[in-house]
Amino acid sequence: MAVSMDDDVPLILTLDESGSNTLAPNEELDREDLPNENGGSYDIVNDVSSPATGDYHSQQRSAGHNWEMNYQEAAIYLQEGENNDKFLTHPKNAKALAAYIFVHNHLFYLMELTTALLLLLLSLCEAPAVPILRLGIYIHATLELFALVVVVFELSMKMRWMGFYTYIRHKRTMVKTCVLLVQFVEAIVVLVRQTSHVRITRALRCIFLVDCRYCGAVRRNLRQIFQSLPPFIDILLLLLFFMVIFAILGFYLFSPNHSDPYFSTLENSLVNLFVLLTTSNFPDVMMPSYSRNPWSCVFFIVYLSIELYFIMNLLLAVVFDTFSDIEKRKFKSLLLHKRTAIQHAYRLLISKQRPSGISFKQFEGLMRFYKPRMCARDRYLTFKALNQSNAPLVSLKDFYNFYEVVGLQWKAKRNREHWFDDLPQTAFLIFKGINILVKSRAFQYAMYIVVAVNGIWILIQTFMLQGGNFFPRDVPWSYIIFLTIYGVELLLKTTGLGPIEYLSSGWNLFDFSVTLFAFLGLLALAFNMEPFYFIVVLRPLQLLRLFKLKKRYRNVLDTMFELFPRMASLGLTLLIFYYSFAIVGMEFFSGVVYPNCCNTSTVADAYRWVNHTVGNKTVVEEGYYYLNNFDNILNSFVTLFELTVVNDWYIIMEGVTSQTSHWSRLYFMIFYIVTMVVMTIIVAFILEAFVFRMNYTRKNRDSEEDNGIVLEKEVAKEEIAGVIELYRRNCVASETAQLQKVITQMDKYGQTSMLFLGRRSRTKSDLSMKMYEEEIQEWYEEHSRKAYQWQEDVFPSSTPLQSSGLRQRSQTVT
Amino acid sequence: MAVSMDDDVPLILTLDESGSNTLAPNEELDREDLPNENGGSYDIVNDVSSPATGDYHSQQRSAGHNWEMNYQEAAIYLQEGENNDKFLTHPKNAKALAAYIFVHNHLFYLMELTTALLLLLLSLCEAPAVPILRLGIYIHATLELFALVVVVFELSMKMRWMGFYTYIRHKRTMVKTCVLLVQFVEAIVVLVRQTSHVRITRALRCIFLVDCRYCGAVRRNLRQIFQSLPPFIDILLLLLFFMVIFAILGFYLFSPNHSDPYFSTLENSLVNLFVLLTTSNFPDVMMPSYSRNPWSCVFFIVYLSIELYFIMNLLLAVVFDTFSDIEKRKFKSLLLHKRTAIQHAYRLLISKQRPSGISFKQFEGLMRFYKPRMCARDRYLTFKALNQSNAPLVSLKDFYNFYEVVGLQWKAKRNREHWFDDLPQTAFLIFKGINILVKSRAFQYAMYIVVAVNGIWILIQTFMLQGGNFFPRDVPWSYIIFLTIYGVELLLKTTGLGPIEYLSSGWNLFDFSVTLFAFLGLLALAFNMEPFYFIVVLRPLQLLRLFKLKKRYRNVLDTMFELFPRMASLGLTLLIFYYSFAIVGMEFFSGVVYPNCCNTSTVADAYRWVNHTVGNKTVVEEGYYYLNNFDNILNSFVTLFELTVVNDWYIIMEGVTSQTSHWSRLYFMIFYIVTMVVMTIIVAFILEAFVFRMNYTRKNRDSEEDNGIVLEKEVAKEEIAGVIELYRRNCVASETAQLQKVITQMDKYGQTSMLFLGRRSRTKSDLSMKMYEEEIQEWYEEHSRKAYQWQEDVFPSSTPLQSSGLRQRSQTVT
């Protein structure tokens, strides 16, 4: 076998690991010649996303520096793996790469987001606008056009990066383009006609937000919702089927009773049973027939038992089941996608000379593009952490851990236990005492008791007040006492534990902010600042501290915090649905309900507003429901929230229906079903997450307290010297400041090596890894069985940046 | 080792299986001498539960026939294992055994049930009685006393059977006794005073029903509910805690607004936020403050998001999780309990001569007590099925399968495929043709289309009708046409498949009953029998047949049928809670609401009943809510159902509260929380059952269609002859009729052996067995590790009937 001994030529190997065997003899040499490698001129590009990089890159290329190119492409592969981007959209040539780099940076992402938000927020100012935000047609249409032009620019960049064929085959992007076109035409029409027409298409503006890089979680949620739809629809049909049967039955049974308005026609019967499904009209819908014949309640009891208590729960069960299944499959595909990305990157990083692994030089080159902000010390530590076999090269097997290791935050392991260890003896003893006190159970329980007493005090105090203005003239003494106690606690804890350790616990952070708020409240009271009174009112929140007491609550609240990002993204998804429905609602129902609007309908009372005098007193009879309207987007959101809560939603529906046509009911019913889908998914999500966590803790009951992933690495002095030497040779000595500092520290304490701790918080993915431990091995095997095919299938079609050329070259060399 | 060679002495061995090794040489002999055994005089006691058995048994004992005693005790052990009765309550002497046998039979169970139901139903006739069922105080008090006396009798029998010490330590029984005493005293007081006092204790009558043998499922549900309570209460506290915080906050924020009645005092604030938790007052509670300041909606949105959408779901998650965990632990303990029962029984069935297993003679003796109705053929087949190693004796390992095998229904495997195989050629061909037609997909789909067309037809027909009397003068032709088609289908299917095969499928049974109902409807129409018109109305139900089409629906409906018994028992559990609350409600709130009762409250409208004339028309304004009262037990049940559905429950609460004191709210709130517990458990149950089933099907995707457990056994002619001989020797030739028939059949077809199929439907326990396959082995190992201890611990304390004596004897023999 003729292997080129040219030191610096990357080799693209097929991924069967035979190479490592045939080239094994070279491995021993690598460690020694590591610093001697000439890795090209190390002009460090600090920001992978600077627009200049494109040019720089092509210069590099023309100079024949293949490594830089490989590093960058490998970094891109790893990013694609992390973001779950398809490799089909991998940039295929230098021009595409330039566009890719231009597009993939936070500045661009922010621009995307702002444009999308601007477009969405425009509906605050358009036609049925929020009164104080109303803008002239010229202004908002021009703003819209401007935003749309920015979107056009974004899309053209995307096309440049993806290539035309991939672009038109990418569904989401195509939909976005179509929506863009429609919006453009409509915006121009508005400008020309100088009046807004019925623009339901504005409901589609959400796509601009959904397509944002930062809204990946929302996209995932939407995908999950759509994937859960088929079983959902199946059960929904069952539900509707029973509804129809009962509607026919109800019509036959109750329509002879003329005092029963709910079943007078089949349509009424259907609508009222649909509403009954939500229980919203429950006893009322039964009452007329019940007053005639008590046994008619059987009809309603059977209906509710079947529909509400059985099929609705079945719906949840089916969605929950699908959801857990999808979660698992998603985890699997993400895992395998990452693995493939790592394989791609690995191919680009091994050199002809050392085909059995990645040397630090190559790894460093990769990290410059993948994580430009990471300092040299951390890069070296990451490399060490990856390198489990402690060989000079990182093999593919070790490199598979890339994503787990790269997120670690490195810190030198401190020798001292407390922050005050270096202080003089007396001070040390004092602080040590405080430390012991603060950590003692007695202190904790004393604080719990104080909080409980405070809580009861507040409750009693509030109970004594009876209406009126509560803003006291002077600060109550109880407030000062409790605040003093909390202040002392805060002081003791910060001094006893050190501010860093103190604030590293979420609960302490909570205590801190509550105490701070209480202090602000005191100021507000002392200086009579009434608008800040709400701070005083928030005081009872500190009772939450009591929930530290029980393990289950800690568990629940921890889960709550863990779930928070996903919950927020689900909430955002719901808001996107809200937005679309709000736009449609505003276009059709804006201004249709007002006080006393619905006097002919069955819900007239709820909309009544009468101001009459009885004797010499003015009595206002207010139904208030006219407030639940679609007059502007904010009102619409509130109305839609009320519809989501479901109770009495039919009053809103009937009110609007009586003022428009009875087809309006369709809008409300569809909205109900959509929110039912989303809500069921939210419930399924909470269930899944919680049950998963409980199962996890049950499985690992005797394992250590959960405080994230921790890795320990020891680094010798000469290693660091070697790394510094490497950097110096490559003229980037400026990056080695951290490493120099490490050496200085070692000298100071007279150590020859130093321990570092890598730490990161545990993610759902880590939990899943542990839960599906056994299955993961199967997946991997299955995946590697397909690996050869993948080599053959994926590569020729998507021809990555250099590989084809290189493969050719390596063939010629061979 | 000196083993007594006395042929007929049972040996109680310690359960380590060393015995089987030391005594192995004897095993070969067993097969031959099976018919020669002299097993005592075989006076077959056909009914284990006849009261005479006790006497008979003691006679037997005095005659020294230990085997009969052992058989009976083994059967009792196996029954205890099956019913999950504790071995602590195992009868300890002959008197206890007599009582045990007297108590454990269906006649006694039925008496228990009737008494309990009588006591419960009495509340229909007592003081606030259902008008048409009102009875005089003398009558119902006497009835009650009579029922209570019967309960006393039952309890005394129980005490006789259990023994005094076990009796007073058995919690449920003790509670029952106390309740009985109280009821007795109260019934006598009622009789003496001749007027009913406030008898809240009647709410405790449920215990008589719960304690019934037939209500085991209800007891299990209650236990499960109580076991799920601790985590439930934890989360409930979290919920209430947030409620209190928000109540204080809401009071401070909204009480300055005097037009807002919902937050005027802290109590109002609390009550209304509690109601808001159920969403029952949702937009209304927000409206007054919302009309003042639109931003106040934030308070309500945050409250609902935290409480309703997060913590309530958390509640479900926690309950679901606990529920699944409990289900698994319950399954484990049941499994191990059965195993222990089998061990106990096994010890009693092995003889001194053959300590390595149970011979057929012993097994037959056991079955006479355990399943007196089983015929000799089936007993022998069961024995064969147990005997997996085909050795003459059934070892303990094989005997562990007892419960799985004993439920099998045995049938000779038919050689013919269709019922018409024996008919002459022409008829055969015709029926074969019909068979193929009926089984073809085309025929099925044609029927689906007919059903769909029929459904659409009915829908359109109903849509055309507009109110009035629908009873048509003559039978519509469409009705006749469709009925004819269904009739033809029914005829074809029964002839094509044979009536037995046809009716063995649940779906066909459904088709059959629907068609029958349609036919009855036709008769009702033809003969103008209006009261039966509901049959015609039920027609749309046949659309359910369409749900056969899709696999998911079949799955759902199958699960539904599987769940039905558990659902029914859960429903019954709910009814028991209803009963208690209904009694309390009747005692306190009977007669407090009536038309126009609550004019001073905020819900006056709902109770208004005004009959006034506008112009020359009489307008009735009816609020109807006065119908939701506690005036008798039936009304109370309906009211409680309305409270369960939750919507507008606060109207009922406020109505009652305005007429009584504001402490009444406690009743309604506690009821809400109780139903919330039960409902959450029902949801968790449905979820668990469904998800379990889905996981099961996913795990066994490629396994056969689910048609129960099937076992095949071949029996040779000489074996049967041997068994007949055995029976003949023991003078019970009357039992061998079935066996004789088998021999006759074999002779007819000239076979030397015959195949039998044992079949039973798959239960949840079978599914669990398969799901937890791996873990079960661990449990068994753990269990057998404890077995030695169990020998030592359990036996000396509970000293079963004979074992202690026998152990002594066997020691002396040795």
Q: What is the three-state SS of B602-641?
A: CCHHHHCEEEEEECCEEEEEECCHHHCCCCCHHHHHHHHH
B265/A467 CB distance under 8 A: yes
The radius of gyration of chain B's CA atoms, rounded to the nearest angstrom, is 33
Apex B429 CA angle, B428 and B435, nearest 5: 85
Testing the interface with A: which of B239, B245, B303, B328 to mutate, by most A Cβ within 10 A? B245
- Given a contact cutoff of 8 angstroms between Cβ atoms, the answer to whether B423 and B389 are in contact is no
Q: Strand B409-412's sheet: what is its strand order? A: B409-412, B753-760, B709-716
| pLDDT, tens digit, 9 for 90 and up, residues B10-47 | 555 333 333 333 333 333 333 333 333 333 333 333 33
| DSSP code string of B300-333 | HHHHHIIIIIIIHHHHHHHHHHHHHHHHHHHHHH
Report the alpha-carbon distance of residue B447 to residue B441 in Å, rounded.
10
pLDDT of residue A17: 34
Neighbouring residues of B86: CB distance < 8 A, sequence distance ≥ 6: B80
Backbone conformation region of residue A626, classed left if phi is above 0, alpha if psi is from -120 to 50, else beta? alpha
Does B241 contact chain A (CB < 8 Å)?
Answer: yes
Name the minimum distance, in Å, from the CA of A199 to any CA of chain B: 27
- Given a contact cutoff of 8 angstroms between Cβ atoms, the answer to whether A245 and B533 are in contact is no
SS3 B401: coil
In our burial notation (b when 16+ CB lie closer than 10 A, e otherwise), range A585-609 reads bbbbbbebbebebbeebebbebbbe
CA B354 to centroid of chain Cα atoms: 41
Q: Where would I find the H helices in B264-311?
A: 266-277, 282-292, 297-304
Chain A CB contacts of B651 under 8 Å are 283
A680 is written with which tokens? 């069921």
- Residue A578's alpha-carbon distances to A581, A635, A637, B664, in angstroms, are 5, 12, 7, 40
- Given a contact cutoff of 8 angstroms between Cβ atoms, the answer to whether A70 and A802 are in contact is yes
**Partner residue facing A245 (CB), from B282, B283, B541:** B541
pLDDT of residue A46: 35
Strand partners, A409: A759
Sequence-separated contacts (24+) of A773-776 with Cβ below 8 Å: A776/A335
A711 is written with which tokens? 């890795």
A 253-272: CB under 8 A from B: 253, 255-256, 258-259, 264-266
Neighbouring residues of A425: CB distance < 8 A, sequence distance ≥ 6: none
B206 is written with which tokens? 């449920």
Q: At what angle do helices A66-83 and A312-349 cross, to 10 degrees?
A: 170
Q: At what angle do helices A297-304 and A216-254 cross, to 10 degrees?
A: 160
**Residue B619 main-chain phi, psi, to 5 deg:** -110, 125
B459/A281 CB distance under 8 A: no
pLDDT of residue B769: 80
Burial of B409 (0-12, 13-18, 19+ CB in 10 A): exposed
SS3 A410: strand
- Given a contact cutoff of 8 angstroms between Cβ atoms, the answer to whether A500 and A515 are in contact is no
Apex B53 CA angle, B52 and B59, nearest 5: 100
pLDDT of residue B714: 79
In our burial notation (b when 16+ CB lie closer than 10 A, e otherwise), range A189-199 reads ebeeeeebeeb
How far apart, in Å, do the first and last CA atoms of chain B sit? Answer: 7
- Picking from B520, B515, B519, the residue whose alpha carbon sits closest to that of residue B532 is B520
pLDDT of residue B530: 66
pLDDT of residue A581: 95
Q: Where would I find the H helices in A371-474?
A: 376-386, 396-399, 402-406, 425-439, 441-464
Burial of A504 (0-12, 13-18, 19+ CB in 10 A): exposed
What pTM was computed for the model?
0.82
B 637-666: CB under 8 A from A: 638, 641-642, 645-648, 651-652
Q: Which residue in chain B has the smallest CA separation from A245?
A: B540
SS3 A358: strand
Helix (H) or strand (E) holding A714: strand A709-716
B547/A238 CB distance under 8 A: yes
Q: Are strands A609-614 and A617-622 parallel, antiparallel or unpaired?
A: antiparallel
Segments of chain A scoring below 70 in pLDDT: 1-65, 414-417, 466-474, 529-537, 614, 619, 700-708, 731-735, 787-814
Report the alpha-carbon distance of residue A368 to residue A45 in Å, rounded.
7
Burial of B456 (0-12, 13-18, 19+ CB in 10 A): exposed
Q: Where would I find the H helices in A551-632?
A: 551-589, 604-607
B 299-338: CB under 8 A from A: 301, 304, 308-310, 313-314, 316-318, 320-321, 324-325
Testing the interface with A: which of B632, B686, B699 to mutate, by most A Cβ within 10 A? B686
The count of other CB atoms within 10 Å of the CB of residue A732 is 17
Report the alpha-carbon distance of residue A491 to residue A485 in Å, rounded.
10
The count of other CB atoms within 10 Å of the CB of residue B179 is 18
**3-state SS string for B684-752:** HHHHHHHHHHHHHHHHCCCCCCCCCEEEEEEEEHHHHHHHHHHHHHCCCHHHHHHHHHHHHHHHHHCCC
- Picking from B212, B148, B203, the residue whose alpha carbon sits closest to that of residue B180 is B148
Does B625 contact chain A (CB < 8 Å)?
Answer: yes
Q: Which residue in chain A has the smallest CA separation from B605?
A: A605
The radius of gyration of chain A's CA atoms, rounded to the nearest angstrom, is 33
Number of A to B CB contacts under 8 A, please give it.
225
In the numeric block, the tokens 């042929």 are attached to: B7
Task: Say what the ipTM of the complex is.
Answer: 0.83
Name the minimum distance, in Å, from the CA of A404 to any CA of chain B: 30
Q: Strand A709-716's sheet: what is its strand order? A: A409-412, A753-760, A709-716
- Given a contact cutoff of 8 angstroms between Cβ atoms, the answer to whether A380 and A34 are in contact is no
Chain B CB contacts of A258 under 8 Å are 467
Chain B CB contacts of A459 under 8 Å are 244, 248
Report the alpha-carbon distance of residue A285 to residue B178 in Å, rounded.
44
Helix (H) or strand (E) holding A103: helix A94-103
A287/B625 CB distance under 8 A: yes
Segments of chain B scoring below 50 in pLDDT: 1-7, 13-64, 704, 790, 792-814
Name the minimum distance, in Å, from the CA of A609 to any CA of chain B: 12
A 465-524: CB under 8 A from B: 465-470
Name the minimum distance, in Å, from the CA of A619 to any CA of chain B: 11
Helix (H) or strand (E) holding A510: helix A506-526
Testing the interface with A: which of B638, B652, B654, B695 to mutate, by most A Cβ within 10 A? B638
